[in-house]
Amino acid sequence: MVGALARLNLNYDKLSSSAKKVAEMFQLKPVCYNPFMNSIAQLVEVVHSVDDSIRLIDEAGSCRLKTQIGVQ
């Protein structure tokens, strides 16, 4: 099994809190073998990816600011 549902089954504990809330909204819990829930698993992945992107942007911004003011 490969794809969003398999990744969710293996890595549910590593999801962001927002992604877990979306999964709960659709009663998606690991381990799920229902192939019709793959689209929901993809949605959960997108929410997690957006959260991770925001985190990375925030980190990059703080590093750039520290470099500009000479703090290490």
Q: What is the pLDDT of residues 2-33, one digit of tens each?
A: 799 999 999 999 999 999 999 999 999 999 99
- Confidence band, pLDDT 50/70/90 cuts, at residue 61: confident
Predicted TM-score of the model (pTM): 0.80
pLDDT of residue 60: 83
What tokens were used for 33?
């073998």
What letter would DSSP give residue 27? Answer: T
What letter would DSSP give residue 47? Answer: H
pLDDT of residue 53: 93
**Residues 29, 72: Cα–Cα separation, whole Å:** 42
